[in-house]
Amino acid sequence: MQKTFENISLTQDNGQDLTFRGSLYSECSWFDEEEKQLTRQKLYVTDNKEQIYYIVRSSGEQKTHHAYRFSVSGETCTINNGKSTVTLPFDMLMHVVRGMCGLKAGETPSLEEVEELNISNA
């Protein structure tokens, strides 16, 4: 199936809207009863095969907007929020993902496993 890409602009609290050409890949939302906070997450795929992760949290009159652009080149991953850029070895990113997903030490997931986790949690 071929994706239809469109021009997208995501508002951010850091003052730098993140604009790209892409399409929505997945989205999810949930309400935290304890914090009284609604969280919405969207994952986009760009025409350059990058991924954009967008998270909006709202509680009462407070609302936050954050977007992150992920790109992989060789053995490194670059993460950009429109203002700052971090580049790190892909293996290090997988260790962080492992911790966030609750996987045991030494169980570094492959990219395919991370994508599967993301899809099944969406």
Q: Is the pTM of this model over 0.85?
A: no
Q: What is the pLDDT of residue 61?
A: 83
Q: What is the pLDDT of residue 17?
A: 92
Tens of pLDDT, residue by residue over 38-81, are 999 999 999 999 999 999 999 988 999 999 999 988 888 898 98
Q: What is the pLDDT of residue 113?
A: 56
Tens of pLDDT, residue by residue over 78-100, are 989 888 898 988 888 777 766 66
Q: What is the pLDDT of residue 88?
A: 87
Q: What is the pLDDT of residue 122?
A: 38
pLDDT band at 28 (very low <50, low <70, confident <90, very high): very high
pLDDT band at 26 (very low <50, low <70, confident <90, very high): very high
DSSP letters along the chain, please?
-PPPPEEEEE--TTS--EEEEEEEEEEEEEEETTTTEEEEEEEEEETTS-EEEEEEEEETTEEEEEEEEEEEETTEEEEE-SS-EEEEEHHHHHHHHHHHHTPPTT-PPPHHHHHHHHHHH-
